[in-house]
Amino acid sequence: MPSLSAEQALAALNARIIECNRCARLREHCISVAEKKRRAYLHWEYWGRPVPSFGDPSARVLLLGLAPGAHGSNRTGRPFTGDGSGDFLYPVLHEAGFASQPRATSRNDGMLLRDLWITSVARCAPPQNKPLPQELANCAPFLDEEIASLPRLRVIVCLGKIAFDGFIAHLKRSAAEQHHVVSNENSQSAPRLRSWKFAHGVEYGLPDGRWLLASYHPSLQNTNTGKLTREMFLEIFRRAKQLAAR
């Protein structure tokens, strides 16, 4: 039987993500938000389900976020679409050459990504934007499969500490699976991962030649206070593009 292309594999994974019911608390919360709605979006039919990933299956850069926003992605059904974080993110992606347009409003707005795939460590909007450890663990196999399905992946950009920790956990799972931790050749993998700390602008070279970058999350709390500026954010994606081209 012929193997699936990256596009087919990622589409099949997204279909399973949309139907996921592993976390009762999250599903109840997403449905409740979708039914009550926010006054500004009363005319919207909320997505209200786990949010599938979005982008270019041939991407060399993966953008890893935290979780869908209750009235953003949980409403529109596409990552970083329809809320303040996306309003800050997509203009930067457009300027950096990753997005076809600067505004993201709905799944049908014509947005295309080039060389970029967007996903998150949690696929359902959590109460107070805080998924529980078990909920993150329930989503982790999706991330593992997703990364394995991106054949040209060179750079991972993590937005915020939870996404950063989620990717480190992925690396540890992968190392254990491949017995890297106990092999002589990769005996330094575990200590190295333990020493990696989240901070804006840090970059780490992975044993397989890929790169990990980290940025503050483009939440309104960070962007409205100036903790994360447009130029700071744009520099992350300029650097990602440089590393991807190596």
pLDDT tens sequence across 92-126:
999 999 999 999 999 999 999 999 999 999 999 99
At position 185, the amino acid (one-letter code) is E
What are the angstrom distances between the C-alpha of 156 and each of 41, 185, 186?
A: 33, 24, 21
C-beta of residue 18 within 8 angstroms of C-beta of residue 49: yes
Rounded distance, CA 187 to CA 52, Å? 36
All structural domains of the chain, each given as residue ranges with its CATH number in brackets, are: 6-244 (3.40.470.10)
- The pLDDT tens digits along the chain (246 residues) read 456 899 999 999 999 999 999 999 999 999 999 999 999 999 999 999 999 999 999 999 999 999 999 999 999 999 999 999 999 999 999 999 999 999 999 999 999 999 999 999 999 999 999 999 999 999 999 999 999 999 999 999 999 999 999 999 999 999 887 754 444 444 455 557 778 999 999 999 999 999 999 999 999 999 999 999 999 999 999 999 999 999
